[in-house]
């Protein structure tokens, strides 16, 4: 990518939505540039959240399951095969009011953008939410994790706590049973939010047990995690539980700070889309988890990436 380069389509994000948009716009000869993010932070995970999962059993076409990273590598290869250019950079600022649209990938206060584009597809996805505890942040990487696939290996024969009650929490818990001596799921209610199939699997697994109606109020340990403090939300009672690892799996937040004040968002910061994938700003489209807090599946993200590509193609045809 050359400095000050001018493009017809830029795609921000390289999860299933962004890469599907890249495949479609590349096949439409729009020579898309994909800014995939940098691997330094969870919110910019190139390849998106599937890079942090193990087996994907529900992506159509793979009856024997496929590993998340393998699926993303295949999508990437497919996009590049049709001419998409993928760069490992992070967008630091966008100006959606100028035409062409300006995108900065370096110093955001620089007077000129690094890239100008006629159309922009936003597929920046969502990131893991954290509990917000001081010691959780201090011990992140030292027993606190948001990714069982990445860190499970370090917890062989250890006591593990997973916090959350959704599909992510149970998926993490079940995966961690391969390593841990025990896996305790701490959930703030008595009913899980997770799908029935995941609940059945977790209830059947001897290594998984549950602490209901409880929240984690502190993480113990000086250099690495040694335990957690739990509070029963019904009785108020506090207890300490010995643990070597705490996996936080309490949901996600959209990566939309870049667009604050420029695009309409809902109360949780997800981009609002209308009439397909339109954001309300001409030539700017959004797809995947950044605009979907309801379905949040790889296949729906990919589907909306396809929609964004077709909307972009039609937009460019209408203005050119
Ligand atoms: P989620 O469904 O939003 O669940 C988040 C869980 O964390 C909920 O049980 C919630 O409790 C709990 N929670 C939220 N904030 C908390 C806090 N501050 N302290 C303690 N607990 C807190 O998120 P998710 O599990 O990440 O799943 C997101 C979407 O991805 C879902 O649609 C899910 O089906 C999908 N997904 C699918 C798969 C799969 O199919 N294999 C795997 C992973 C995710 P409450 O229940 O009380 O609100």
103-136 per-position pLDDT tens digit? 999 999 999 999 999 999 999 999 889 999 999 9
Range in 88-92, 95-99, 139-143, 212-216 the model is least confident about: 139-143
Q: Is the pLDDT of residue 38 over 90?
A: no
pLDDT at 40: 58
Domains 5-128+252-319 and 134-248 share a fold: yes
Quote the pTM value. Answer: 0.79
Ligand 1 atom, smallest distance to 195 CA: 34
pLDDT at 266: 96
Please give the Cα distance from 8 to 101 (Å, whole number): 10
pLDDT in tens, 287-302: 999 999 888 889 999 9
Ligand 1 atom, smallest distance to 187 CA: 21
What proportion of the chain, given as a percentage, has pLDDT over 90?
Answer: 83
pLDDT at 2: 62
Which homologous superfamily is 134-248 in?
FAD/NAD(P)-binding domain (3.50.50.60)
Annotated domain spans of the chain: 5-128+252-319, 134-248
188 Cβ closer than 6 Å to some ligand 1 atom: yes
Domain covering 5-128+252-319 in this structure, CATH number: 3.50.50.60
252 Cβ closer than 6 Å to some ligand 1 atom: yes
Residues with a known catalytic role: 147, 150-151
Give the pLDDT mean for 162-185.
Answer: 96
201 Cβ closer than 6 Å to some ligand 1 atom: no
161 Cβ closer than 6 Å to some ligand 1 atom: no
Averaged pLDDT of the chain? 94
Q: Is the pLDDT of residue 4 over 90?
A: no
DSSP-assigned states of every residue in 299-319? HHHHHHHHHHHHHHHHHHHHH
Taking CA atoms, 101 is separated from 107, 260, 262, in Å, by 17, 16, 12
Provide the token pair at 231.
Answer: 């509070």
pLDDT in tens, 231-263: 999 999 999 999 999 999 998 899 999 999 999
Q: What angle do CA 4, 127, 54 make, to 5 degrees?
A: 110
Among protein residues, the one with the nearest Cα to ligand 1's atom 29 is 296
């Amino acid at each position: 990518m050359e400095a000050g380069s001018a493009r017809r389509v830029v795609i921000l994000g390289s999860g299933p939505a962004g890469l599907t948009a890249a495949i479609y716009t590349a096949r439409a000869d729009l020579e898309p540039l994909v800014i995939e993010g940098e691997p330094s932070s969870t919110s910019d995970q190139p390849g998106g959240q599937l890079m942090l999962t193990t087996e994907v059993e529900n992506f159509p076409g793979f009856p024997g399951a496929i590993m998340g990273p393998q699926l993303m590598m295949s999508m990437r290869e497919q996009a590049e095969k049709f001419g998409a250019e993928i760069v490992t950079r992070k967008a630091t600022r966008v100006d959606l009011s100028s035409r062409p649209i300006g995108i900065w990938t370096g110093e955001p206060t620089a007077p000129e953008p690094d890239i100008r584009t006629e159309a922009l597809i936003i597929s920046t996805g969502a990131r893991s939410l954290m509990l917000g505890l001081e010691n959780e942040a201090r011990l992140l990487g030292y027993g606190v994790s948001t990714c069982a696939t990445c860190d499970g290996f370090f917890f062989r024969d250890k006591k593990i706590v997973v916090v959350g009650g959704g599909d992510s929490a149970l998926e993490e818990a079940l995966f961690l049973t391969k390593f841990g001596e025990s896996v305790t799921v701490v959930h703030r209610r008595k009913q899980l939010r997770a799908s029935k199939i995941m609940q059945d699997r977790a209830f059947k697994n001897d290594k998984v047990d549950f602490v209901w109606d409880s929240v984690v109020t502190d993480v113990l340990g000086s250099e690495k995690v040694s335990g957690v403090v739990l509070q029963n939300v019904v009785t108020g009672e506090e207890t300490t539980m010995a643990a070597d690892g705490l996996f936080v799996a309490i949901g996600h937040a959209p990566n939309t700070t870049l667009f604050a004040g420029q695009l309409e968002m809902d109360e949780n910061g997800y981009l609002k889309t209308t009439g397909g994938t339109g954001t309300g700003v001409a030539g700017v489209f959004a797809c995947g988890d950044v605009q979907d807090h309801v379905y949040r599946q790889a296949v729906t993200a990919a589907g909306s990436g396809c929609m964004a590509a077709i909307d972009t193609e039609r937009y460019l045809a209408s203005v050119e």
